Amino acid sequence: MTDMIRATGLRKSFKEVQALDGLDLAVPEGQVLALLGPNGAGKTTAVRVLTTLLRPDSGSAIVAGVDVLADPDGVRARIGLSGQYAAVDEHLTGLENLEMVGRLYGLGGAAARRRAAELLDRFGLTEAGNRPSKTYSGGMRRRLDLAGALVAAPPVLVLDEPTTGLDPASRVQMWEVIRELVSGGATLLLTTQYLEEADRLADDIVVIDHGRAIAQGTADELKAQTGGERVEVVLAEPSMVGAARAVLAEVASGEIELKAGGRELTAPVAGGLAALGHTVSGLQQAGIAVLDLGLRRPTLDDVFLSLTGHASEAPAGSPGDPDSAETEEALR
């Protein structure tokens, strides 16, 4: 397979802060790689290096066959970048924004206009195309910014936290747009602090913390690394713990854990549904009342917690606060 993005040993520090600490990345052609990590993990710094906005202290990166350090202009001509806050001109209309980007990629006037209209149509912005983008909703602006990254139909796309700060509905809409993009064959590097987003969109996930890749794999592989399925039982009466534990012991493939104030039991299981069925009938026969019972697979949150030793943090960035993510990145 051919790697459209390959970074080797990227290091970058800001004053005492080591933002990137020997990061390696590879994204094969046509694949989606999610760079997953909390605020300040180094995601944005990595994106800025790969898109020529920032020179690394050491290390190298090749994007679309072009060396980022030796020929930054050549890289810029082959990538599309959409940042974590929508970098569109608020006084320009959607059409004018895209037309300007087209001209700056080197398209002629007529070609730039045609391409702008095409993209507005594709992103459902035709109707709003002649309004200043100031009047757009957050989701519309984000789509316009993403459209800007696609103007030159670049072989490599880099999306830095494309849905941070969006409401849930706009987020789902954005996911659909991105999935459609990728089905068109583009290579995509995506950063996110939403585990669900990485799960939905990416072929491969690199978990990054303190400027280093700490794990890599598909969502399933990462989850498997944390442990397989387990049965969870929340008891109505904490006094029934002993009896419930005895039922679970029949299906458990490992140690049974007790948590949440002594009424929630978790048992790793091998058999999946069969184990769940067995548990249900066992609990019924023993007359143990439960509040909740289920078969759980580990979430990426669990993965994150087990890998980093700290939980993934809630996003601090919001559309009204474009600096926050960057500031935190710099402060760490």
Partner 1 sequence: MSTPSAGSDLPAPTPLPYRRPSGPGRALVDGWVVAKRNLIKIKRVPEILVFVLISPIMFVLLFAFVFGGAIDPGDGVGYREFLIAGIFAQTVVFGATFTGAGLADDMAKGIIDRFRSLPMSPAAVLVGRTTSDVVYNVLSLVIMALTGLLVGWRIREGFLDALLGFGLLLVFAYAISWVMAYIGLVVPSVEVINNASFVVIMPLTFVSNAFVPLESFDGVLRQLVQWNPVSALTQASRDLFGNVSASAAAPDVWSMQHPALYTLVWVLGILLVFVPLSVRQYSRAGG
Rg of the chain taking only CA atoms, in angstroms: 24
**Residue 92 near partner 1 by CB under 8 A:** yes
For partner 1, the binding residues in 130-169 under the rule CB under 8 A are 132, 148, 152-153, 155
* Smallest separation (angstroms) from partner 1 to the CB of 312: 25
What's the CA gap between 101 and 106, in Å, rounded? Answer: 9
Question: From residue 258 to residue 287, what is the string marking binding to partner 1 with x (rule CB under 8 A)?
Answer: ------------------------------
Closest CB to partner 1 among residues 64, 117: 64
Closest CB to partner 1 among residues 214, 330: 330
**Residue 53 near partner 1 by CB under 8 A:** yes
| Binding test (CB under 8 A) with partner 1, winner from 76, 141, 171, 212 | 76
Q: Is the separation of the CB atoms in 235 and 258 below 8 Å?
A: no
The owner of tokens 């936290």 is: 161
Closest CB to partner 1 among residues 103, 278: 103
* Smallest separation (angstroms) from partner 1 to the CB of 10: 11
Closest CB to partner 1 among residues 100, 234: 100
Closest CB to partner 1 among residues 66, 215: 66
Alpha helices in 152-299 (DSSP H): 168-183, 195-201, 219-226, 241-249, 273-285
Exposed / middle / buried, residue 285 (Cβ in 10 Å: 0-12, 13-18, 19+): exposed
Task: Spell out the residues 6+ positions from residue 143 whose beta carbon is closer than 8 angstroms to its own.
Answer: 123, 124, 125, 173, 174, 177
For partner 1, the binding residues in 293-332 under the rule CB under 8 A are 322
**Residue 87 near partner 1 by CB under 8 A:** yes
**Residue 216 near partner 1 by CB under 8 A:** no
* Smallest separation (angstroms) from partner 1 to the CB of 209: 23
| Binding test (CB under 8 A) with partner 1, winner from 19, 33, 48, 144 | 48
* Smallest separation (angstroms) from partner 1 to the CB of 107: 6
Closest C-alpha to 118, from 94, 86, 87, 90: 94
| Binding test (CB under 8 A) with partner 1, winner from 107, 208, 247, 252 | 107
**Residue 9 near partner 1 by CB under 8 A:** yes
| Binding test (CB under 8 A) with partner 1, winner from 33, 41, 105, 263 | 105
Number of residues near partner 1 (by CB under 8 A): 55
Stretch that binds partner 1, among 65-73, 171-179, 225-233, 301-309 (CB under 8 A): 65-73
Closest C-alpha to 62, from 213, 52, 54, 53: 52
- Element (DSSP H or E) covering residue 116: helix 109-122
The owner of tokens 């700056």 is: 104
**Residue 111 near partner 1 by CB under 8 A:** yes
Is 310 in a helix, a strand, or coil? coil
**Residue 43 near partner 1 by CB under 8 A:** no
Q: Which own/partner pairs from 119-125 qualify as long-range (CB within 8 Å, at least 24 positions apart)?
A: 119/147, 119/150, 119/151, 120/94, 120/95, 120/147, 122/147, 123/147, 123/177, 125/94
